Amino acid sequence: MPDGPLIVQSDKTLLLEVDHEQAAACRRAIAPFAELERAPEHVHTYRLTPLGLWNARAAGHDAEGVVDTLLEYSRYPVPHALLVDVAETMARYGRLQLLADPVHGLVLHALDPAVLVEVMRSKRTAGLLGERLDATDVVVHPSQRGHLKQVLVKLGWPAEDLAGYVDGEHHDIALLEDGWTLRPYQQQAVESFFHGGSGVVVLPCGAGKTLVGAGAMAKSSTTTLILVTNTVSARQWRDELIKRTTLTEDEIGEYSGARKEIKPVTIATYQVLTLKRKGVHPHLELLDARDWGLVVYDEVHLLPAPVFRMTADLQARRRLGLTATLVREDGREDEVFTLIGPKRFDAPWKDIEAQGYVAPADCTEVRLTLPDGARMTYATAEPEEKYRLAATATGKNRVVEDLVRRHAGEPTLVIGQYLDQLHELSEHLDADLITGETPVRERQRLFDAFRSGEISILVVSKVANFSIDLPEAAVAIQVSGSFGSRQEEAQRLGRIMRPKADGRAAHFYTVVARDTVDQEFAAHRQRFLAEQGYAYTIVDAEDLGSTEKDAAGA
């Protein structure tokens, strides 16, 4: 019997022994279809879910390959019922197909007539399906394409959308071959996206998701709507497109709180699209302002609900989602799967690191013991106050100062959630602070000063979580976050993962109050990065301080 690193259980959990010599290879092999649930020190728990298996199927993995992987790495015989269930679950994807029809426009076609009967009898499909044409086909109104896909996933019969896309308005876009080319994995991501028609590309922060977007735009050569998280991100996209493609400033419009330009390539913020006045979203008309051939969703894991709703009506347009992690804390991954499209390409972080395209990163959790008075205040606090009390413990200021001293001169980001905590840290460190209240012009000035080396420390709120390009950043110190958000942890690590000129590693610290919900949330936050192969070293804040004193004495 092989001594594999994996224990496959009949409840669809997979237990991976972290210290096994084959653990890294096994993690890479199961990543396309299994989701990490828990990641303590020695044994990580993954789970097989229908959505994970369907995403793998859509990305080109078949049931035979999944079964072979489980058999290859399992320490004990794999339960036969589980193998049957994996095969049958994956076989559900594509038994229903959405097809273009020259007479009826759009039809739902069944490879298995009984499945069609089953979904037609469901109350959930009422009003979404039209005339029954024959045993295998039923008419679908084109406007219901997205809504029907949402319902079918919930019924357990995800449809493969083969209905194609409108070409959209042609607009010449080409990549400038000026001393650079798309990296092999970026080119592969573009090809995988186009082969599938629509869907999501998952790449580590710093691995060039914007360039994948530019590559897709060049391949499409159509008018493009790009949706981004904020105005700073919008301007970074514009600058990168001007630098990397034949597009000029006159061809790129910004649609944000500050400007309302509609051009062949228009970059809009999620905030302006979701703005509500008198019960309506006045800016959603942007979606119909041009005959868009491509819609790009940056940071697709952050899509707000109104953008999901509008995307349901955009199913005839090619849609590209870009993200570092498909994890959504609201559990709406199935909506990304149905409305944007399934995962088309996913590059493991460690693989990109091994190729030298992102910096290696050391992750450290620094645990701080609350003094007796603060511990008693925490113990008697209301549940909703406990996290804030733990996350903003005043002792964290000293830990941050120790870490900043340890990395003196290195470009450092101090990142947190609570503004009063960040203002205090900014004063302690004599460092500039960027929050949501900082004007865009001032944000850009400070980011530019950080990039140029004029300033080496920035204190930033969650506005810097996403789409901020700070390649020089080498150290990140996280003092508080959005409770147990896995995607936020991934984004924050991503801020420091651009390759360093001298090849040195990046350092990511998270400062945690021991024996509090802060510690519990930290464990949850770290799950995604553990899935990618990153291990956190846990150190005591007191030991950190003594190390600094020893270094100073030496």
> How many C-beta atoms surround the C-beta of residue 303 within 10 A?
23
Confidence of residue 288 (pLDDT cuts 50, 70, 90): confident
DSSP string, 204-240: -TTS-HHHHHHHHHHHH-B-EEEEESSHHHHHHHHHH
CATH code of domain 96-161:
3.30.70
* pLDDT of the residue at 203: 86
Per residue in 488-542, pLDDT (tens digit) is 777 777 777 777 767 778 898 999 999 998 888 888 777 767 767 777 888 998 8
Summarize the confidence of residues 49-54 as an average pLDDT: 93
* pLDDT of the residue at 552: 37
Confidence of residue 258 (pLDDT cuts 50, 70, 90): confident
pLDDT at 309 over 90: no
* pLDDT of the residue at 185: 93
CA 49 – CA 151 distance, rounded (Å): 18
Q: 294-297 and 432-434 as β-strands: parallel, antiparallel, unpaired?
A: unpaired
Tell me, which fold does domain 359-553 have in CATH? Answer: Rossmann fold (3.40.50)
- Measured CA to CA in angstroms, residue 417 lies from 51, 109, 411, 422, 492 at distances of 31, 49, 20, 8, 12
Average pLDDT, the chain: 87
Q: What is the DSSP letter of 12?
A: S
Q: What is the DSSP letter of 532?
A: T
> How many C-beta atoms surround the C-beta of residue 21 within 10 A?
9
Per residue in 453-483, pLDDT (tens digit) is 899 999 998 776 655 667 678 898 989 877 5
**CATH 3.40.50.300 domain extents, the chain:** 184-352, 359-553
CA 337 – CA 373 distance, rounded (Å): 49
CA 447 – CA 473 distance, rounded (Å): 11
pLDDT at 328 over 50: yes
219-228, 296-305, 528-537: which range is least confident on average? 528-537
Tokens of 485: 């958000």
* pLDDT of the residue at 1: 44
- Measured CA to CA in angstroms, residue 540 lies from 205, 387, 549 at distances of 29, 20, 15
User: How big is the chain, counted in residues?
Assistant: 554
pLDDT at 346 over 90: no
CA 16 – CA 445 distance, rounded (Å): 46
* pLDDT of the residue at 548: 45
DSSP string, 416-444: -S-HHHHHHHHHHHT-EEE-TTS-HHHHH
Per residue in 386-418, pLDDT (tens digit) is 889 988 998 999 999 999 999 998 889 999 888
**How many CA atoms does the CB half-sphere of 179 hold within 13 Å?**
1
* pLDDT of the residue at 538: 87
Give the closest residue to 227 by CA, choosing from 329, 324, 307, 336: 307
Q: What is the DSSP letter of 170?
A: B
* pLDDT of the residue at 465: 60
Q: 160-161 and 199-202 as β-strands: parallel, antiparallel, unpaired?
A: unpaired
DSSP string, 294-339: EEEETTGGG--HHHHHHHTT-TTSEEEEEES----TTS-HHHIIII
Tokens of 319: 């849609």
CA 389 – CA 379 distance, rounded (Å): 10
The share of the chain scoring above pLDDT 70, in percent, equals 94
- Measured CA to CA in angstroms, residue 167 lies from 161, 222, 265, 293, 418 at distances of 16, 8, 15, 6, 46
CATH superfamily entry for domain 184-352 = P-loop containing nucleotide triphosphate hydrolases (3.40.50.300)
Under a CB-based contact definition with an 8 Å cutoff, are residues 53 and 86 in contact? yes
Cβ neighbours of residue 518 closer than 8 Å, sequence gap 6 or more = 387, 390, 391, 393, 480, 512
CA 546 – CA 554 distance, rounded (Å): 12
